[in-house]
Every structure is written in C-alpha cells, then in structure tokens.
Structure 1
Amino acid sequence: MPQGFKDIPRVVWLLAAGVFVNAVVSFTFVFVFLYLTGPRGLSASEAGLVSGIGGVGLVAGNFTGGWYGDRFGHRRVLLAASLLGGTVLAALPLLPLALLVAALPAAQYTSGVIRAANSALVAVTVPEGARRPAFALVRCAANGGFTLGPPLGALIATGVSYGWLFVADGAGTLLLALWTARVVPARGAGAAAKAPAGGGRGILAELRDRPALLVLLGAILVTDLVYRQQYSTFPVFLTDHGLDARTFGFVLALNGAVILLLELPAAVALRSRPALPVIGTGMLLVGAAYGALLLGAGAGTAVVMMVLLSLGEILYKTTATAYVADAAPEHAVGRFQSLYAGVSVSGVVLGPTLGGTLYSGAPGLLWPLCAVLAAGAGGAVLWAAARPRRHAVRPAHETGSHPRAVAG
C-alpha cells in the first residue's frame, strides 16, 4: 500500500465505506424534479421553485453543520442529522403536498449538515499534513456511490415507483447513522472542540489572520458557480446543437471514471506539494475546460471539456478541503469546514439561475465568461500563494506538508 494510504486512520476507511453505501442510495436529488412533475402533478415552474428552495436548504446545512459540531461534537451532530434526515426522506412519499414542500428543504438541510459534519470528523481524526489522501478517499467513495446510484434509481423508479426512491434514500441515511455510531468512538475525534484559555477568538478574527484563506474562499465561490454549469446549461447547450441525452450521460460517466481512476493517486503524489499552487492550477483547468467549448459543440469537444474539468476538480477540490482543515484553529475546525462546505456548493443555487439567465439572453457569452471567471479565480489563488506571508504562525498550513507524529 502506498505511504499516503498507510497514513489514513482506520476510522476514516470505515467512514468512507459508510459514505459509499449511503451515496449509492442517495439518488432522490437526481429524480426529485421528475417526481414533483410526475406523481405529484406540479408544473415545471412549481417544481423548479420547490427544488430551488431545497438547494437553499442544502447550502444552509453545509454552512451550519460544522458550527453545531464545534459546540456539540461532530459525531453527535452527524448521528442526529442522519437520524432526522433519514426519517424525513423515508416519510416524504406519505406526506400531503403542502407538508412535502416544507419537508423537502428540511431533508436537504440535514444532508448539508451531514456533509459538513463528515468533513469535520475527517479533519479532526487525521493529523495536519496527512489530510489530502484522507479527503480524497472519502470523495472517491462518494463518487463511486453516485456512479452506481442513478442507474439503480432509474430501475426502482420505472420498475416499482418513485416513492420507493425516497424510502431507499432514507434507509441509507439511517444506516449511515448506525454505521457512524459503531465505527466512530464516542470520545476523542468526534467530541466537541474545546476553546483555548480565554474563550478563543471569534471566527472573523481568525479569518482576518489568514488572508490567503479568504482569497481561496472567494475563488471557490466563483469556481463553483462555473463548475456547476455542467449540470444545467451544458446539457442544454449540447441539445441545442443536436446532441441527445446519451452524449450528456456519457460525458458525465467519463467525469466519474476519471475521478475514480486518478483522484487517489494524485492526492498521494502531490501531498507534499504546497497546497495553493495545486488548487490554483486546478481552477485554471476548470477555466480551460469551458474555454474548450468555444471550439465547437461536437461530441469530441464535449469529451475534451469533461476531461479537463475532471482533472481540475481532482486538483482543487480535495486539496482545498485539506488546506482549510490545516488552516483552522483547534477550537474552530468544524466552523472552518462549514465555511468551505457552504461556499463549495453555492453553485447549486447560483449556477442554474445565473447561467440559465445568461444563456437565454446571450448564449455566446456564457462559455467565454465561465473560462475567464475560473481562470481569474485560479490566478487569484496563485497570487495569494506567491505573496510574502504576513503571519508566520503554523507555516505548515501553507504547504500541507509532511505528516507529523500525534500523541496517542
């Protein structure tokens, strides 16, 4: 086993196994629009509104999950959110429409809390400097599950009913709660953070002391807005140029294949490289991916676009997650992870709205703007990496460098 994998604690491998199983049955977000417009009889605009509110719930859950964890313990928050979310998901098909409209955002909110709490658990379990392979492992487990999930969900929806999708998703989330309770110790990694003497500094003060991190969070916000176009305006672009849904399905599958094949080896190979240049390079590749669409709208161009996008995702997402964890003060690991988690899914809400509006009004401007925005975000991160450090505290945060021994 490569050295980078040996540094990953056993509990993270077990958490990744739970994430994989849960991801396999987390297919309701793929089919919720069809469910609302089909069995529930909503119009497309009504379904879009409900789905959009659910996306707001997802983002809000990501922003707040780590805050709860710092106060009550990340393990405890993950368990509570999984139990609540699983119960709500399983009950959704039985709810009248008025209650469903309220319950769906609540389920999405708990999903966001679960994501943030899970990231925080990994961050507090793995020593600083060894986190990139650990986060890459969990991401690969999630991506592997999502690769299997949609085809399985389609079989359930067409062969049984859409209602059973929610039951299966809820059962998987409840199973995640039971699995987490079994594999994560009640004390230690999942415990609430202890503020240092004097009560600890406020989160804003901690962020002001980390200007490179502030640049990174802004760049992640911009890049995610661009990145999410692959799920909204990109398939419309392909359809408008005579390519059917099979092409879109193929390039999405290609995205999953590239990530599953290369993300873990890349995380191990680059684990001793300074984090910010790796992240900035990944964002530049995201910009290049959308710039490739200026060459035309054929299947070959779509493949090139998706390969570049996947490589960029591999470089920036895992590395940024680990960088934020390494930059966090001990009493605020969960809050820092929540900031990153919320920013990193903001495109779920902003992407379709802003991208769709621009594509409808001036379709020729969308891809050049996406390329410029992502490249600009990458350039900002590279600039932050090259700036002299004003704060010499904990220099390993800037490098994500070699693992260090941890007592116990």
Structure 2
Amino acid sequence: MLQGFKDVPRVVWLLAAGVFVNAVVSFTFVFVFLYLTGPRGLGADRAGLVTGIGGIGLVAGNFTGGWYGDRFGHRRVLLAASTLGGLALTVFPLLPAPLLYAALPLAQYASGVVRAANSALVAVTVPEGARRQAFAVVRCASNGGFTLGPPLGALIATGLSYDWLFVGDGLGTLFFALWTARAVPSRGASRNAAAAAADGGPGRGGLWAELRARPAVLVLLGAILVADLVYRQQYGTFPVFLAAHGHGTRAFGFVIALNGAVILLLELPAAVALRARPPLPVIGTGLVLVGAGYTALLAGVGTASAVAMMVLLSLGEILYKTTATAYVADQAPEHAAGRFQSLYAGVSVSGVVLGPPLGGALYTAAPGLLWPLCSALAAGAGGAVLYVSRREARHAARPAHETGSQPQAVAG
C-alpha cells in the first residue's frame, strides 16, 4: 500500500504530522457547552447562543480562508490564523462572560481559515494525480487526532479543570503555527499570491466565470451542501433518537467510535485502490451510501441497525470526502486554487450551522419523516453527481466537431 503514496511530497507528511498533534488537543469543541453551562454558569439558552455564533464563525472562516490565501499566500494565512486562534483559546478562561460572545466566534473563525488554508496548501503543493492520496493522508491524521482527543480532554477536565482544555487547545494551535513555519517552505506562497493579484484579486470577480465554465463543480458543491446537512444529523438528532428508544450515551459513544475506527482502517487503502478511478462516480457512490446509512434506521432501532447505519455512513464518507476535495483542487485554475478550496471547505461544514436547527425542528414536528427524508436527500445528491458524471463522459467521448469544441489544455 505504501507504494501508492510515493508521489505524496514530504511536505504533506510533515503537514499531516502537525495536523495530528493539533487535532489531538482540539477537544474544546466537544466540551464547550458543558464548560459554559458548568464552570461559567451560563444558562442553556445563552450557552447555545454562544456556541451557535461560534459555528457561524467556523463556516465563515472556511468560506473566506482561501480568498485570503490567493491574495497573501496560503502558508502566510495559515500561520496568521493559527496564531490568532491559539491566542484566543489560551486566554479564553480569563475573559469575562460578555467577551465570550466575541472570543469563541473569533477562535472558530480562525479555525475555519486554517482548515481552508491547509487544504489549499495541499492543493498547490501536490501535482494532479496524487491529490487524493495526499488529502487522505491529512484526513487520516486529523481523524486519528480527533479519536484520541475527546478521551484525553475528559481526563484533563475531570483531573485538572475545564480551563486547561482551552489552554491546551490554544498551545497546540500555536505549536501548529510554529511547526508549519518550519516544515512548509515559503516559496509557493508568493507565487500564488502574485497569480491571484494578476487575475484581479479575490474581490474583483472572475470566480463565477470560472465556476460557470465547470458546471460539474457547481453540481458537486450543491450536492455536498445537501449531503453535509444530512451527514451532521449523526451528531444532533441521532443521539436524541437513540435515547428516545432506550439507548443511552454509552451506545452513542460506541457508534461514533465505530465511525472513527472504520475511517482510520480503510481511508488510506481506499485512496490507493481508487486513485485511478474517475472521481465523480466515486463521489456519487459515496453520497448514495450516506443515504443508505440512514435507510438502515428504518429497519428498527437496535444495535444492529445503528451499527449498520454508521458503517454505511463511514464508507460513504471515505468515498466522497477525500475524492471531492481532490476533485475541486484538480478543477481549480492556479490563480483561484484557494478560492475553490474555500468554497468546498465552507460548503462541507455548512451542516454544522444548518443541521441542528433543521433536523431538530423536523424531528420535533414529525419524527417518522426524518430518516426517510435524510436518505432521500443524500441519495438524490449522489444521483445528481452520477448523472453529471455520465453526461461528462458522453461529452468527452464525442468528436470535437460534434461538441463544437476544440482540444485545449485544462486549467488547474
């Protein structure tokens, strides 16, 4: 299997090592609500407002991080956002309650910018043809860190205090900034910033024209928006659904741990095995599997159906997330690599904000409709991607005089 990763540059492995360490200590998002309602003494409504605004900050950071990177250089933006986010988290326990409404969104915004800039760095560092493997390496490192983080965070919160969670997360983020500064060369940043400036910069148009020239990317972004809304239900309505049917927190923890285990076990082998396959059919199949996961819950509420749901969901995630990230990177023109990655990064976490209120409202009003609708939406999103894939394949197979086009180099 290692032979399949020979084209992944050394800098990506170094970046993945930093991502792993940062992910291990990124445990505050798991415990922030408990911290706000516990040691900080906020009511559930105020704590929900703070965390909700923080989620908006995360999505906004993902949407804008690539814009900054195209203008100023992705490495430079990654360093600045990591430093800002690390400092905000480190001082978080010292802030009075009113400032938390600003500090948490700021830290989350910086985290979103880091995520987008990190993806853009991989996109501009790795040549087309090896990006799936490169993104799989980084995702595997991140998932491995997040698997270790929550148990470690629970030990710190109970053995020391919740305050140390934020200090540890902040110091880990600052370490990631230092690690990136030493591990990632700066030569690519100025080149990409110069290319964006020559194109007129992130704020002067041009992006929409590039997207219209790539209709499959637009369809993919819409499909990912729908899929993430469905995907995030595993963290919101799914545990409520389990509890309502007599399965407590322990069962939910086991099922979520299964997600991490499947991804860690299979994501890298899948990236190697499927690296030569056309990306859109792989993505579409993954989205359909996400829908199939929620369909498993219609068979009844028990250990077997919950396990089947999570295994199918995890397999779908393995197929679509890494492949879609690499596909968007491959389709992006050089001067807009960061902006394309930002669009994908923002859309791919939109369910963090949209999922809980929409899923919760539907589950409250008509609980029997939630899982069939989730299944239908994900399957529809996958079907749309598969349809575009077949359409592009037919178009590519037709002679140039029939399509009205002439052979030309593809940007990006």
What TM-score comes out, normalization by structure 2 length?
0.94
Shift of 1:187: 1.2
Q: Superposition pairs for residues 161-180 of structure 1, below 5 Å?
A: 161-180=161-180
Q: Distance in 1 between matches of 2:303 and 2:62?
A: 35
8 Å Cα contact 2:62-2:342 kept in structure 1:
yes
8 Å Cα contact 2:74-2:338 kept in structure 1:
yes
Q: Distance in 2 between matches of 1:395 and 1:338?
A: 21
Partner of 2:100: 100
Partner of 2:368: 364
8 Å Cα contact 1:23-1:142 kept in structure 2:
yes
Partner of 2:284: 280
Partner of 1:346: 350
8 Å Cα contact 1:121-1:190 kept in structure 2:
no
Q: Distance in 2 between matches of 1:396 and 1:242?
A: 54
Alignment partner of 1:293 out of 297, 301, 307:
297
User: Is the partner of 1:192 in helix, strand or coil?
Assistant: helix
8 Å Cα contact 1:26-1:169 kept in structure 2:
yes
Q: Distance in 2 between matches of 1:126 and 1:170?
A: 29
Q: Tell me: CA distance 1:91–1:383, structure 2 relative to 1, closer, same or farther (3 Å).
A: same
Q: Distance in 2 between matches of 1:199 and 1:51?
A: 37
8 Å Cα contact 2:225-2:347 kept in structure 1:
yes
Partner of 1:44: 44
Aligned residues: 397
8 Å Cα contact 1:76-1:190 kept in structure 2:
no
* 1:218 is aligned to 2:218: no
Partner of 1:16: 16
Shift of 1:227: 0.1
The CA RMSD measured in Å over matched residues stands at 1.6
Shift of 1:3: 2.9
8 Å Cα contact 2:192-2:334 kept in structure 1:
no
Q: Superposition pairs for residues 22-41 of structure 1, below 5 Å?
A: 22-41=22-41
Q: Distance in 1 between matches of 2:334 and 2:269?
A: 29
Q: Distance in 2 between matches of 1:83 and 1:396?
A: 33
Shift of 1:377: 0.0
User: Is the partner of 1:188 in helix, strand or coil?
Assistant: helix
Q: Distance in 2 between matches of 1:191 and 1:232?
A: 42
Alignment partner of 1:302 out of 302, 306, 318:
306
Partner of 1:193: 193
Q: Distance in 2 between matches of 1:256 and 1:81?
A: 27
8 Å Cα contact 1:153-1:165 kept in structure 2:
yes
Partner of 1:404: none
The letter for the 2-side match of 1:292 is A
Q: Distance in 1 between matches of 2:198 and 2:179?
A: 37
Q: Distance in 2 between matches of 1:190 and 1:291?
A: 48
Q: Tell me: CA distance 1:146–1:393, structure 2 relative to 1, closer, same or farther (3 Å).
A: farther
Shift of 1:101: 1.4
Q: Distance in 2 between matches of 1:4 and 1:394?
A: 27
Alignment partner of 1:250 out of 244, 249, 254:
254
Q: Distance in 1 between matches of 2:260 and 2:41?
A: 33
Partner of 1:311: 315
Q: Tell me: CA distance 1:75–1:65, structure 2 relative to 1, closer, same or farther (3 Å).
A: same
The letter for the 2-side match of 1:30 is V
The letter for the 1-side match of 2:287 is M
8 Å Cα contact 2:288-2:379 kept in structure 1:
yes
Partner of 2:400: none
* 1:144 is aligned to 2:148: no
Q: Distance in 1 between matches of 2:229 and 2:408?
A: 32
Shift of 1:42: 1.0
Shift of 1:299: 1.1
The letter for the 2-side match of 1:62 is N
Paired-residue identity, %: 79
Q: Tell me: CA distance 1:273–1:126, structure 2 relative to 1, closer, same or farther (3 Å).
A: same
Partner of 1:259: 263
Partner of 1:130: 130
Partner of 1:328: 332
Alignment partner of 1:237 out of 238, 241, 245:
241
8 Å Cα contact 1:75-1:190 kept in structure 2:
no
Q: Distance in 2 between matches of 1:304 and 1:264?
A: 21
Q: Superposition pairs for residues 62-141 of structure 1, below 5 Å?
A: 62-141=62-141
User: Is the partner of 2:268 in helix, strand or coil?
Assistant: helix
Q: Distance in 2 between matches of 1:52 and 1:195?
A: 36
8 Å Cα contact 1:124-1:190 kept in structure 2:
no
Shift of 1:393: 5.0
Q: Distance in 2 between matches of 1:292 and 1:192?
A: 46
The letter for the 2-side match of 1:132 is R
Shift of 1:2: 3.0
8 Å Cα contact 1:276-1:381 kept in structure 2:
yes
Q: Tell me: CA distance 1:165–1:203, structure 2 relative to 1, closer, same or farther (3 Å).
A: same
Q: Distance in 1 between matches of 2:32 and 2:346?
A: 22
8 Å Cα contact 1:24-1:148 kept in structure 2:
yes
Q: Distance in 1 between matches of 2:338 and 2:112?
A: 13
8 Å Cα contact 1:82-1:110 kept in structure 2:
yes
8 Å Cα contact 1:225-1:351 kept in structure 2:
yes
Any unmatched runs of 5+ in structure 1?
Answer: 398-408
Q: Distance in 2 between matches of 1:282 and 1:158?
A: 39
Q: Distance in 1 between matches of 2:21 and 2:253?
A: 22
Q: Distance in 1 between matches of 2:13 and 2:186?
A: 17
Alignment partner of 1:375 out of 375, 379, 389:
379
Q: Tell me: CA distance 1:164–1:393, structure 2 relative to 1, closer, same or farther (3 Å).
A: farther
Partner of 1:57: 57
Shift of 1:198: 6.8
